[in-house]
Amino acid sequence: MGVLVLYIREVDLKNFRNFTDYTIYLDKGTNIILGKNAVGKTNILESIYLLSRGRSFKTSRLSEIIKYDEDNFFIGIKAVRSSGEFTAQFGYAQDNKKQIKINGIEINKQSELLGNIYTILFLPEDLYIVKGNPQIRRNFIDEALLQIRPNYTYDLMRYYKVLKQRNNLLKNIAKKPSLRYTLDSWDEQIAAYGIKVATIRARFVETLSRAVADIHKNLSGGEELEIKYLVNFGNNIDMYRELLKSSVEKDITYGQTTIGPHRDDIKILLDGKAARTFASQGQQRTIALSLKLAEIKIIRDNIGESPVFLLDDVFSELDDDRKMCVMKNIKDIQSVITANDIHMDGSWNVIRLGVI
């Protein structure tokens, strides 16, 4: 586990998106970035997220982040921890060369950034955690687990690697049936890693469901929220193996594995009904926000420190009561919030972009 950051004090940007050379100073509490559309509010959130996770939430191509007509970008963060100042830097050049430093010491892997600055991100499209397809919900759970259980990365990557190899074999068996005898060894591996992934996910969802219940009741004015993890291969490895064997004909026909945690889902119930079907868009957005707030609580309980909460345009579709409830829930942590305008009173650090 890396050094635990208490709060980010300063973010320096060079040739990052629309910023040529810009420094933003943050308070340890609530920071609200105000400005019209296209002035770069979300870009600031992206820079903090990138330096905490090693990747962007907007693009998989770092070259797209470089300011037009430039050939590199740089992000620097100065943060405060209990033992003193902490610094992190991320530089990227057009020739695909990266330079990442933590406290002035260069690191070789982007994954080494994890565990130094914990962040939770809320975007307007996060309502698709509720209304979207199962892959979006699985990604939400996996992203949360990668922060609080770094070893989960290994099991997840191994599972998907074996899954890809088994799927390739299934396609080859359709052309060459004599290869079928080799399936058993892949079934053993996929069952071993799959049961690990599903077990870790299921335990996390149980914790998440407990954490989110009170948060959502408070945020929504009394609605009951429950989260359940739905597996499609039983609850033990023997049942998993049997289902893999019984589905082999279908798997060969489709050229893909139809059983396993890559097909699991998370059921979200609002007052006992499926939120994906029965909740309004406003309710779905509130559920997504409640899930993010619950994730903060879980990180605090597991890590002992609060993550930085990054919220993009969170106020646009919330009524005043829910806005104030959100602000109350995040008053004890550092948050960076983007908005076009805000019509609430509070002792917040307000940063105005696009104002001379």
Bind-site residues for ATP: 35-42
Contacts 24+ apart (CB under 8 A), 213-220: 215/290, 215/293, 215/294, 215/297, 215/329, 216/286, 216/287, 216/290, 218/325, 218/329, 219/286, 219/289, 219/290, 219/293, 219/322, 219/325, 219/326, 219/329, 220/283, 220/286, 220/290, 220/322
Answer yes or no: are the C-beta atoms of 80 and 9 closer than 8 Å.
yes
Closest by CA position to 22, among listed 47, 49, 51: 47
In the annotated binding site, the residues are: 35-42
Do residues 292 and 125 make contact, with C-beta atoms less than 8 angstroms apart? Answer: no
Cα(11)–Cα(31) distance, rounded to whole angstroms? 13
- Core vs surface per residue 59-71: b (16+ CB within 10 A) or e: eeebeebbbeeee
Nearest to 84 by CA among 100, 103, 101: 103
Contacts with 101 (C-beta within 8 Å, 6 or more apart), sequence order: 87, 88, 89, 107
Residues 6+ apart with CB under 8 A from 85: 9, 78, 79
- For every residue of 70-105, DSSP letters joined together read -SEEEEEEEEEETTEEEEEEEEEETTS-EEEEETTE
Residues 6+ apart with CB under 8 A from 22: 12, 13, 14, 16
**Residue 276: both structure tokens together:** 């994906």
